[in-house]
A and B are shown apart, each in its own frame.
Chain A
Amino acid sequence: MLSTGRQNKKTVKLNDGMESRYGYILIAPLLLLIVVFIFFPAFYSFAISLFYYNPFGHQIHFAGISNYAEVLHSSLFAISVLNVMYYTAVVVTLQTILAFSLAMLFNYRFRITRMSRALVFVPAITSPVALSIIFIWVFSRQGMVNYFLSMFGVQPINFFFSTTFAFPAIMAMNIFSTAPYFMVMYLAGLQAIPPHILEAASLDGIRSGWKRFRYIYAPMLSFTTFLVVVLGVIGSMQLFDQVFVITGGGPANSTYVPLIYIYNRAFLYFGTLGVSSAASFILFAVIMAVTLLQRRYLKELRWA
């Protein structure tokens, strides 16, 4: 009824009405869930951030931007942001390099390749909480890392109780466990490179490992790399499970990250839900900005 013009154009399609009706029916459950459990909380989060709100005492009054002011003036939040930036810079860089190296290694096909690759991937599917607990041992005084270091005469270090070493140990663990995931993306990228390019290049004298990397792999995998970096950055900014389980943000706030701040504000202190929401909105804005920035860069790169 609405689109007589369209019907004339598409005389072949007899059941246009039925098709669009089914279209709406099939997406209805998804839309309902997304609206109620994603969009609504996102707006609700913004609303809460403008109020002083204590749901248990049923106290609520408008607070304007004072929650945001409190977050931005909080030295703890500043520490958490600096920490997560430090973490993101280190982890994303190293895990990307490690993922690429592992992919180069496992791109060679031998009998043992498939099995080895499958085993290396296990930490990537392990529950972060379970992995954190195993790594409490790995970095404990009696753990594997200290055992390894003791071979070089290094005195045992209590990694997770040290303000110097706790955060690097968490970084090492996450680099170790996330790299295999991105390795698989690189492997897919490597396999998409047509073999004749490598052959042609080797006729042109590009045979050494470094030259191959510089002139073939680096440019042809740039799209994969940016994807790996974008996903890595988004994941790193949301660091929570490992820190919560292993150090809880300590010792002396050396592993304090924004999500710990958000969680503590919501659950440890009463009546600071508004502050917690304000902090999560600030984090959201930062993640969004980073993503958009990278998307834009990515687009330019893709069409270059």
Chain B
Amino acid sequence: METFNVTKEKKKKNRIKRVATEQNSAILSIGRVKKVAIQLMMILAVVIYVLPFYWMMLKMFRTSIFAHFPPNLNPLSGTSLSNFVQNLGSVWSFGSFPRWYFNSIFVTLIVLFSSVFVGSIAGYAFARLNFRGREMIFYTVLGTLMIPFPVVSVASYVFMLNIGWLSTYQGIIIPEIASALNVFLFRQYFLTIPKEVEEAAKLDGLNPFQIFTKISAPMAKPAFAASFIYTFIGSWNNFLWPLMVIHSKSLYTLPLVLNFFKGVNGIQIYWNEMMTVVFLTLLPTLIIYAIFERYFVEGISFTGLKG
């Protein structure tokens, strides 16, 4: 066990060294003082970026509803686990909070799986299958990226109203599924997989859908990871569309709950409970982020730079 750790550590060090020499020759030419200064700047950036979240976390463990001046950033003053349990309890029993939490999870999961499925099969078809008008259809689909959702949202709202989908799950979910970005991401990824891999399967008599599910899709894990993450974030954080389409409180999703909770006590926000709601909203995002952090970065460079 011990030796294993040591070799692992060594390997890691070597890797860092290699990366440093290969990709960043700049680092070799900088002095000791500059190295320290740069690391201090990184830490400063992290402190600035983390501070608001840090205060939020502390506030969840405190009982006072007020924001005090000066802000108390001492993690040991006034905080306790029982305060947190108490805050959590009052938030959980507020309105129909468990139902709202369920709504968010339910809506996001369905959007997630349908959008990734629809996007991946279409992306595969655009990358691999020959059919009449393929290029034209692809660029038309891509063109929808230029139509910002908020701009068509009023008409979508009226459409939902006319077909009786206001304040229904399908009304929130189905218009969110079509994502040109997912299609684009998958198409680009499938284009990078060598065609020869599929040729053998084709000769074995597999139809294109079987080739997709058995051969190509398993090879496209990074594309799936990236599109899962971005679709998750987009749907979980979506505010404008649910705001328009949900008029019954029982169907609220978490961003609507946040907005509602903010104003529920008039001008005074109950900060300890508010921050607990904020945290509960953030929690699934943070868990997914912690697991898939690598793919976030890949996803951005993938869709962004090739766009």
Contacts and interface: CB of A to CB of B under 8 A. Distances in A.
Given A37-B174, A238-B150, A277-B155, A30 B285 contact: no
A214 to B, nearest CB: 16
A76 interface: no
B264 interface: no
Nearest to B20: A109
A166 to B, nearest CB: 16
Contacts of A254: none
A30 B254 contact: no
B278 interface: yes
Interface of A (DSSP majority class): helix
Contacts of B275: 134
Contact of A133 (B68, B278, B304): B278
Interface in A99-135: 102, 105-113, 116, 118-123, 125-130, 133-135
A48 interface: yes
A277 B23 CA distance: 51
A119 B49 contact: yes
Interface stretch (A63-71, A77-85, A89-97, A138-146): A138-146
Interface of B: 16, 19-20, 22-27, 29, 35, 38-39, 41-43, 45-46, 49-53, 55-56, 66-71, 118-119, 121-122, 124-126, 129-132, 134, 137, 141, 144, 146-148, 150-159, 161-162, 174-175, 177-178, 180, 183, 202, 207-209, 212, 233, 236-237, 239-240, 243-244, 254-255, 258-259, 262, 269, 271, 274-275, 278, 281-282, 285-286, 289, 293, 296-297, 300-301, 304-305, 307
Interface of A: 15-16, 18-20, 22-27, 29-31, 33-34, 37-42, 44-45, 48, 53, 55, 102, 105-113, 116, 118-123, 125-130, 133-138, 140-144, 146-147, 150, 156, 176, 180-181, 184-185, 187-189, 191-192, 195, 198-199, 202, 207, 224, 227, 231, 234, 237-238, 240-241, 244-245, 259, 262-263, 266-267, 273, 276-277, 280-281, 283-284, 287-288, 291
16 contacts: A26-B129, A34-B141, A37-B177, A39-B144, A45-B154, A110-B35, A120-B49, A125-B289, A127-B236, A133-B258, A134-B275, A141-B69, A184-B296, A192-B305, A244-B259, A263-B244
